[in-house]
């Protein structure tokens, strides 16, 4: 486990890899509520980095700053070497197509079939299509990767919660993002369905070689998917390490997460 002083040192094996996402000294307050007080992270190519923190610790605020839904008070955010504050809207939009999101509210469009839900991002981002590919092929490929080809003509109302989450993941994957942001990917799912989603996240990483930032309270999810975990406490990186390093920590605050 790393201390606050050397927290940015990557684990062995990630040292040579390029940095996909970097947050430096991020600060965000709402009045007297100082939520982020100098948060840092580096997401390396091909890794799954989990952020854990108590409810209200600022995980969602951090993600919102990352995707531009909130303006940070200070600090820098770099996505694949581009500092987002220096980009114009067109460049920012292009960069955003490299990022996939699976948020708690990643709702499907209720009035569209599964196929239409998956076609939607492709039609919006036509630049992501190359000549050799056609929409139908990409939709099938994305559904195969989440094991739901048979659901192609169903309406969202006909899907279980776990199926909806898998289709939302397929819709994210269809644009072949380099980075995926997951916000509580297993929340609201029963233990068996959660396990399926967790396995799927692992497969996605292998198959699509994505780099993922995963916010979760789910210790099982963190154990299975993470290469590294950062614990966010009082708006700063409190501890960082592999699952085993953190789970065997004797620090009371760290232990509280792995009970």
Ligand X SMILES: Nc1ncnc2c1ncn2[C@@H]1O[C@H](COP(=O)(O)OP(=O)(O)OP(=O)(O)O)[C@@H](O)[C@H]1O
**Nearest distance in Å: CB 103, ligand X:** 11
**Nearest distance in Å: CB 157, ligand X:** 27
- Torsions phi, psi for 47 (to 5 deg): -100, 155
Cβ proximity of 22 and 41 under 8 Å = yes
Characterize 111-135 residue by residue with b for buried, 16 or more Cβ atoms within 10 angstroms of its Cβ, and e for exposed: eebbbbbbbebbeeeeebeeeeeee
In the complex with ligand X, the residue whose CB is nearer, 60 or 212, is: 60
**Nearest distance in Å: CB 30, ligand X:** 4
Alpha helix (H) residue ranges in the chain: 59-67, 89-96, 114-124, 135-145, 161-173, 191-208, 219-225, 243-247, 252-257
Site string for ligand X, 15-54 (x = CB under 6 A): ---------------x--x-x-----------------x-
In the complex with ligand X, the residue whose CB is nearer, 206 or 259, is: 259
In the complex with ligand X, the residue whose CB is nearer, 14 or 194, is: 194
Q: Candidates 6, 12, 55, 88: give the one binding ligand X (CB under 6 A).
A: 55
In the complex with ligand X, the residue whose CB is nearer, 57 or 212, is: 57
Residues 58-77 within binding reach of ligand X (CB under 6 A): 58-61
Distance of alpha carbon 86 from alpha carbon 258, whole angstroms: 39
Residue 8 touching ligand X (CB under 6 A):
no
Q: Candidates 14, 48, 57, 106: give the one binding ligand X (CB under 6 A).
A: 57
Name the one range near ligand X by CB under 6 A: 3-11, 55-63, 105-113, 245-253.
Answer: 55-63
Cβ proximity of 157 and 77 under 8 Å = no
The pair of structure tokens assigned to 108 is 């499907």
The pair of structure tokens assigned to 93 is 């939009």
């Amino acid at each position: 486990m790393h201390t606050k002083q050397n927290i940015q040192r990557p684990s062995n094996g990630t040292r040579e890899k390029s940095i996909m996402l970097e947050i430096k000294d991020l600060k965000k307050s709402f009045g007297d509520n100082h939520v982020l007080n100098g948060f840092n992270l580096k997401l390396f190519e091909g890794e799954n980095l989990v952020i854990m923190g108590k409810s209200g610790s600022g995980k969602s605020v951090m993600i919102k700053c990352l995707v531009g839904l909130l303006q940070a008070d200070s600090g820098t955010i770099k996505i694949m070497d581009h500092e987002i504050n220096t980009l114009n809207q067109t460049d920012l939009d292009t960069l955003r197509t490299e990022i996939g999101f699976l948020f708690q509210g990643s709702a499907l469009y209720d009035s569209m079939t599964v196929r239409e839900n998956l076609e939607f991002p492709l039609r919006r981002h036509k630049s992501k299509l190359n000549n050799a590919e056609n929409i139908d092929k990409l939709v099938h490929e994305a559904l195969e990767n989440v094991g739901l080809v048979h659901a192609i003509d169903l309406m969202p109302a006909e899907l279980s919660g776990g199926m909806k989450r898998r289709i939302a993941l397929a819709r994210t994957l269809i644009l072949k993002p380099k980075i995926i942001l997951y916000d509580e990917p297993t929340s609201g799912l029963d233990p068996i369905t959660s396990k399926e989603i967790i396995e799927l996240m692992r497969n996605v990483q292998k198959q699509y070689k994505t780099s993922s930032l995963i916010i979760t309270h789910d210790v099982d999810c963190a154990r299975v998917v993470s290469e590294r975990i950062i614990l966010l406490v009082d708006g700063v990186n409190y501890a960082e390490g592999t699952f085993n390093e953190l789970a065997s920590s004797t620090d009371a605050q760290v232990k509280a997460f792995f009970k």
